[in-house]
Amino acid sequence: MAGGDSGKSPRHRAVIPPARGHVVPSGPPPACRSDVPGGYAAGMGELRRSPLHERHVELGAKTAAFGGWEMPIEYAGRGVLAEHAAVRGAVGIFDVSHLGKARVAGPGAAEFVNTCLTNDLRRVGPGQAQYTLCCDETGGVVDDLIAYYYAADNVFLVPNAANTAEVVRRLAAQAPAGVAVTDLHTEFAVLAVQGPAAPEVLRKLGLPADGAYMSFADAEWKGRPVIVCRSGYTGEAGFELLPRWADAVPLWDELLTVVTGLGGLPCGLGARDTLRTEMGYPLHGQDLSLSISPVQARSGWAVGWDKPAFWGREALLAERAAGPARSLWGLRSNDRGIPRPHMRVSGPDGAELGEVTSGTFSPTLRQGIGLALLDRSVTAGDEVAVDVRGRVSTMTVVRPPFVSASPR
C-alpha cells in the first residue's frame, strides 16, 4: 500500500486493494511495531525524518517512531477524531514520506517483476498502478506494496517503510542481467490528499484530478515534477502525490493552504489508522506478515493464481486448495469494549478461536471495531468474546468494510 500505501488501497477492501498507503499506505511495517495501539513504538532512538519534519513541529505535531521514522501521529489542538472527521467530511493531507520508493528498470523489467510479486502486472498497462504482495517461499508476506507500471522496461515500486530494503534486496538478488533495482527511498516524498474535496484541491493546484482509480500520471507543479496517483488508504476519493524530496516543503505549504481553505486539516498517522481500519484495509506487520499469508488475510484477489511463477506460488496454491486453518474477519463491539492487537478471542464455550490483529475506536460508528485472525469454524454473524484487559467484551463477527465509502 500498501500501500500504500500502501496504500498501499484495499481500500473496498473487500474487493479493492490498499494503495497506501499502502500506504500503506502503504501501511506501516513491523520494524517499530509494539503493543501501543496503532503500532507506534514508544522509543525514538535513531530515526529518519521526513523532509517536512520542521513543518510538523511548527504545527505542534505529536510524533512517534513508525517503521524506523519519526512521523506525526496527530496535530495539536485537534486530535485523531477531528482529523478523521475532516477526511470523511471534507479533506485531509497526510505526510507519508516514510513509504519506500524503488525502481526496476531495464529490458524485461516488468516481466521480471511479474515473476516475483503476486499480482499479475499483465492486467494493467502504462499509467496504471497495482496493489501487490512480495511473499517468501512459504507464502508469508514480506511486504504489500504498489507497483506503478510505466513501461515494459520500467516499474516504480512503493513498499512500506521498514520493508523497503528487504524488498529491494530480494529483487536485486534475482534480477537478470541488464535489469537494475534501485532504492530511491529519499529521492521522493509522498503526500496523500484524501476526502470528498480531494479532486478540488488538486484542480486548484493545477494538477490532474480526473484519472481513473489506481491510475497515475507524471505532472508538473510550478515547473517541478510530481507523480500523481489516484489512490489512498482511507476509503475516500484521494490522491498520492510523489514530488522530489527537495520539493516537498513548498508543495506541502500550498496544499495545506488550499486544504484548510476547504475546511480540511493536516492529518497524522493516528487518523490514517482509524480510517483504514474502518475500511478493513490490512496493515503489514499486523494483518499481513511472514506468518499471515494472503490466503489467511483474504488478500487472494491480489494474487495472479494463473501465473506460472511468483514467489511463494506453490505454498499459496496448496494452502488455497486445502483451505486456510484461520481467516481474517472483522469484529464489531456490542458494548464499550475496544479491541486491540493480540487480544484473545474465544467462543461462547470459552474455547480459544484466535486473536485480534488490528483494533480501534471507530470515530464514524462510535464503537470499537477490529480485525482478527480466527479459526476456520468461525463465520459471519457469530458472537465471540474478546479479553479486553481482563474484562470480557462481546463482539459480532462481520465482513469489512465497517463503513460505506468509495475511493473511486
pLDDT of residue 22: 30
> Chain-wide mean pLDDT for the chain?
90
The grid cell for 376 is: 476456520
Scanning 226-296, the segments in alpha helix (DSSP H) are 248-261, 269-279
pLDDT of residue 46: 87
Give the pLDDT band of residue 26 (cuts 50, 70, 90): very low
Triad 350, 344, 142: Cα angle to 5°: 135
What's the whole-number mean pLDDT along residues 176-193? Answer: 98
Residue 35 or 40, more confident? 40
Share of the chain above pLDDT 90, in %: 87
What letters, b where the CB count within 10 A reaches 16 and e where it falls short, cover 167-206? Answer: bbebbeeebeeebebebbbeebbbbbbbbbbbbbbbebbe
Domains defined for the chain, CATH in brackets? 1-321 (3.30.1360.120), 325-398 (2.40.30.110)
pLDDT of residue 236: 96
Please check whether residue 130 is in contact with residue 11, taking contact to mean a CB–CB distance below 8 angstroms.
no
Please check whether residue 181 is in contact with residue 116, taking contact to mean a CB–CB distance below 8 angstroms.
no
Q: How far is CA 222 from the centre of its chain?
A: 29
What letters, b where the CB count within 10 A reaches 16 and e where it falls short, cover 25-45? Answer: bbbbbbbbbeeebbbbbeeee
What's the whole-number mean pLDDT along residues 120-124? Answer: 98
What confidence tens digit (pLDDT) does each residue in 46-91 have? Answer: 899 999 999 999 999 999 999 999 999 999 988 999 999 999 999 9
Upstream peptide bond of 53 is cis (omega within 30 degrees of 0): no
pLDDT of residue 12: 29
Q: Which of 49, 282, 317 is nearest to 186 (CA)?
A: 49
The residue assigned the cell 532512538 is: 45
H-helix or E-strand spanning residue 20: none
What confidence tens digit (pLDDT) does each residue in 275-318 have? Answer: 999 999 999 999 999 999 999 999 999 999 999 999 999 999 99
Neighbours of 65 (CB within 10 A): 21
pLDDT of residue 406: 61
What confidence tens digit (pLDDT) does each residue in 217-233 have? Answer: 999 999 999 999 999 99
Residue 7 or 408, more confident? 408
- pTM, full prediction: 0.90
pLDDT at 14 over 60: no
pLDDT at 6 over 60: no
What's the whole-number mean pLDDT along residues 387-406? Answer: 93
pLDDT of residue 27: 30
pLDDT of residue 108: 98
pLDDT of residue 408: 60
pLDDT of residue 407: 64
Give the CA distances from residue 192 to residues 97, 103, 125, 320, 330, in Å, rounded to whole numbers and listed in that order: 9, 20, 23, 34, 26
Residue 28 or 264, more confident? 264
Q: What is the DSSP string of 151-195?
A: ETTEEEEE--GGGHHHHHHHHHHHPPTT-EEEE-TTTB--EEEES
pLDDT at 164 over 50: yes
Give the pLDDT band of residue 44 (cuts 50, 70, 90): low
The residue assigned the cell 530480494 is: 170
